[in-house]
Structure 1
Amino acid sequence: MPLEDRAGHKVFSQVFGAGARPALAIHCTLAHSGAWAGVAARLPQLAFTAFDMPGHGQSGPWMGSDYHGDVTRIAASFIDRPLDLIGHSFGASVALRLAVAAPEAVRSLTLIEPVLFVAAAGTPEFAAQADDNERFRNMIAAGEAEAAARAFVAQWGAGQPWEKLDPRARAAFSAQMPLVLAGGEANFTDTARILRDGGLEAIDAPVMLIRGANSPAVMATICEAIAARLPDVGLAVVPGAGHMLPVTHPAQVADLIALNLNRE
């Protein structure tokens, strides 16, 4: 599909499948819409729309000042009726923001490893993650983008050693490190007020929270904190999976999404 103007950005999107139920999926930082292919292929009941965030995949570069807000506005531009909303990592944080802002637009909500770190505020896991974020920031400020990317991928990647990644992927990840920091502000400080009083509680669609058993410890804390405030929620852990489970464990993720669809 050619690039479209959406919320002031040049955005690439694609649709997987032709099912009766419309769905919108939002990928993680450093990935692209194609990361959903394995999951979407196992959900024939969905017409599965996915887009590339600015600075990712085939979309244009990001030229804004509020990355989380810009991606949220782009995602909202795809919603013209109630649909099944699915997000992974940064994309799950955006999906949750949309659901809080417009719960009537969400038929079901699946959040895979939402990196809304502020949900874990006050815990040792949050403190450790904030320290990691500061290290990333300092490396990037010092011109050490590749070192930052190596550290980020080691923690949040699919488990491949940095040296075994394609050199083009390593270069792209290094170039995208500023986007990690740009999106991180909202997730560490809740500038979007996703966790405001009554916000999560107003989501009446069925919600499924999914995390990998081998993911960073902060993910369990985040998922449990969010789940505690949702009126209709399931919390699933995929054995043997890390943070990139939509790519590494698409069958299990698709099965859990299907389970959530059937709860609607």
Structure 2
Amino acid sequence: MPRAGRVAAAGHSCPWPVDDFFTRFDALFTADDRDGLIDLGLRTWARADPGPAARAQIAGAVAAMAACGDLQQPDPPAFDRLHTITAPSRVLIAGLDHPGVVACGHAVAARLPHCEPSVIPEADHLLPLHHPDLIADAIADRVSGSRGRLV
């Protein structure tokens, strides 16, 4: 049976709480303040480990966003269609992620009919960077149908 998974669940159609992150982001992006965007990104997305690897990943994301500019388009809305996914699924939720992403992860998991949400308390948004073993375990678990280390 096909299985599905999602890491750091969020999206444009997810309900987001009112938050000043986007106001700060928009001001920095409009000013083309890439260093400010990197610092904001590290404070927001790399709370568990803002070290050199996280800085490089955030800097790459900032450069990519700047290169895309107005060409970047949001994905088609999917949040209201999640209930149609019938494959057993797992949503990995980083406990130290932005509160909006954590809430969105729980909301996504609640809408998927056969979903196991897994909260990783010590992880931030950069879960694949900081915890690739957990990602590999989750994928192996979904592929094999077994229950690995991730519960």
Separation in 1, partners of 2:98, 2:55? 26
The count of residues paired between Structure 1 and Structure 2 equals: 145
Q: What is the CA-CA distance between 1:239 and the residue it aligns to?
A: 3.3
Please say if 1:154 is aligned against 2:39: no
Q: Root-mean-square deviation (CA), in Å? A: 3.3
Separation in 1, partners of 2:91, 2:110? 11
The residue number in structure 1 matching 2:31 is 142
Amino acid at match of 2:49: G
Q: Quick check: 1:113–1:243 contact (8 Å CA) kept in 2?
A: yes
Please say if 1:246 is aligned against 2:128: yes
Q: Which has the larger radius of gyration?
A: 1
Separation in 2, partners of 1:135, 1:214? 20
Please say if 1:234 is aligned against 2:116: yes
Partner-residue secondary structure (3-state), 1:211: strand
Partner-residue secondary structure (3-state), 2:118: strand
Q: Quick check: 1:209–1:223 contact (8 Å CA) kept in 2?
A: yes
Please say if 1:193 is aligned against 2:84: no
Please say if 1:116 is aligned against 2:11: yes
Q: What is the CA-CA distance between 1:154 and the residue it aligns to?
A: 2.4
The residue number in structure 1 matching 2:64 is 176
Q: Quick check: 2:6–2:90 contact (8 Å CA) kept in 1?
A: yes
Q: Quick check: 1:112–1:209 contact (8 Å CA) kept in 2?
A: yes
Separation in 2, partners of 1:202, 1:221? 20
Greater share of residues in strand: 1
* Structure of greater relative contact order (alpha carbons < 8 Å, 6+ residues apart): 2
Unaligned runs of 5+ in 2: 147-151
Amino acid at match of 1:256: A
The residue number in structure 2 matching 1:68 is none
Greater share of residues in helix: 2
Alignment map for 1:1-264 (pairs within 5 Å): 107-116=2-11, 118-121=13-16, 126-128=17-19, 131-157=20-46, 159-161=49-51, 164=52, 172-178=60-66, 186=74, 192-196=76-80, 199-263=81-145
Separation in 1, partners of 2:111, 2:96? 24
TM-score, structure 2 normalization? 0.75
Q: Quick check: 1:117–1:222 contact (8 Å CA) kept in 2?
A: no
Unaligned runs of 5+ in 1: 1-105
C-alpha change, 1:218 and 1:178, in structure 2 (3 Å) is same
Separation in 2, partners of 1:225, 1:166? 27
